[in-house]
């Protein structure tokens, strides 16, 4: 089974092709560049290097979020379109779980972390088990201080993600020697891990119909929040109630 894996949920652009338990190829960049412009050319480049075509794929894996709203939408829309046109399964995979896979051999808790702004993070608590990661505390968006209070005294913890560096002083102040930080390579989501997790979902028959799948942002967009607030205040998006 050949799986094409796509990740655009953060600044990282990752594309990989797996065949069963073998990684055939992977391209990863971590740049401030537009994923919408670069994703499909990167897919084409990798497939061309592997002497493969889209029709050779048996499934499409995609990072479902959390992460950048725009980035997640770009990857998800592309993956959904490809899965529908090729008539193959679409397998959404948590971008946090894919990042946590970099620490699957760490003898403690693995904490992937993306900045959610306003001193909050997208995060979860994972543990390596039999070559994969299992969730100990469900993924969430939470204030950094509250999250660190939850973790304190239960380490050691491996913090992963480029954004972990932004909160390093807070983490070290609260957790001290309980906190360990990933290397640059470990802080980047690997599309290969995304594909491997997708393969496991397929094995467990957890894949979804392409048209039913949706991103998982873990929180509402700013526009959605404002829309709900107007509804709660008795105001319709296009004017006051009763107009």
Q: What is the CATH number of the domain that holds 35?
A: 3.30.420.40
Nearest-angstrom CA–CA distance, 61 and 89: 8
My answer on whether 101 and 163 are in the same domain is: yes
Same domain, 11 and 90: yes
In a domain, 242, yes or no: no
Q: How many domains does the chain have?
A: 2
Task: Write down the pLDDT at residue 130.
Answer: 85
Predicted local distance difference test score (pLDDT) of residue 127: 96
Residue 158 lies in a domain: yes
Record the tokens describing residue 55, joined without a space.
């029709």
Return the pLDDT at 1: 92
Q: What is the mean pLDDT for each group of 10 consecutive residues in the chain (243 residues)?
A: 96 96 95 92 98 97 94 94 94 96 96 94 94 92 96 96 94 96 95 95 70 72 42 47 35
In a domain, residue 18? The reply is yes
Token pair 């050779």 in the structure block, residue: 56
Sign, CA torsion 43/192/85/91? negative
Tell me what pLDDT residue 222 has: 44
| CA–CA dist 16, 28 (Å, integer) | 9
How many residues are there in the chain?
Answer: 243
Which residue range is the domain that position 12 belongs to?
2-94+190-220
State residue 141's pLDDT score.
95
Give the angle 175-177-179 at the CA atoms, nearest 5°: 60
Residue 239, Cβ density class (10 Å: 0-12 exposed, 13-18 middle, ≥19 buried): exposed
What pLDDT score does 239 carry?
42
154 and 74 inside one domain: no
Q: For residue 56, is it within any domain?
A: yes
CB hemisphere CA count around 110 (13 angstroms): 26
Task: Judge if 86 and 148 occupy the same domain.
Answer: no
The answer to whether position 54 is within a domain reads yes
- The answer to whether position 59 is within a domain reads yes
Q: Is 158 helix (H, G, I), strand (E, B) or coil?
A: strand
Look at residue 210 in the predicted model and tell me its pLDDT: 53
Assigned token pair, 37: 């412009």
């Amino acid at each position: 089974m050949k799986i094409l894996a796509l990740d655009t949920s953060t600044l990282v652009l990752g594309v990989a092709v797996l065949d069963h338990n073998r990684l055939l190829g992977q391209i990863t960049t971590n740049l401030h560049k537009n994923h919408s412009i670069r994703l499909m050319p990167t897919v084409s480049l990798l497939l061309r290097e592997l002497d493969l075509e889209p029709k050779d794929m048996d499934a499409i894996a995609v990072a479902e979020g959390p992460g950048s709203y725009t980035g997640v939408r770009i990857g998800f829309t592309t993956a959904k379109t490809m899965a529908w046109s090729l008539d193959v399964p679409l397998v959404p995979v948590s971008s946090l779980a894919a990042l946590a896979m970099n620490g699957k051999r760490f003898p403690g808790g693995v904490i992937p972390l993306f900045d959610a702004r306003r001193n909050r993070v997208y995060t979860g608590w994972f543990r390596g088990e039999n070559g994969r990661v299992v969730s100990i505390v469900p993924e969430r968006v939470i204030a950094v201080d509250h999250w660190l209070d939850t973790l304190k005294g239960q380490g050691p913890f491996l913090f992963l993600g480029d954004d972990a560096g932004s909160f390093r002083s807070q983490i070290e102040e609260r957790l001290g020697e309980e906190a360990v930080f990933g290397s640059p390579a470990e802080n980047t989501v690997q599309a290969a891990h995304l594909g491997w997790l997708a393969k496991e979902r397929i094995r467990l028959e957890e894949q979804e119909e392409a048209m039913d799948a949706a991103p998982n942002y873990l929180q509402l967009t700013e526009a959605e929040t404002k829309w709900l607030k107007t509804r709660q205040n008795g105001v319709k998006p296009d004017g006051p109630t009763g107009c």
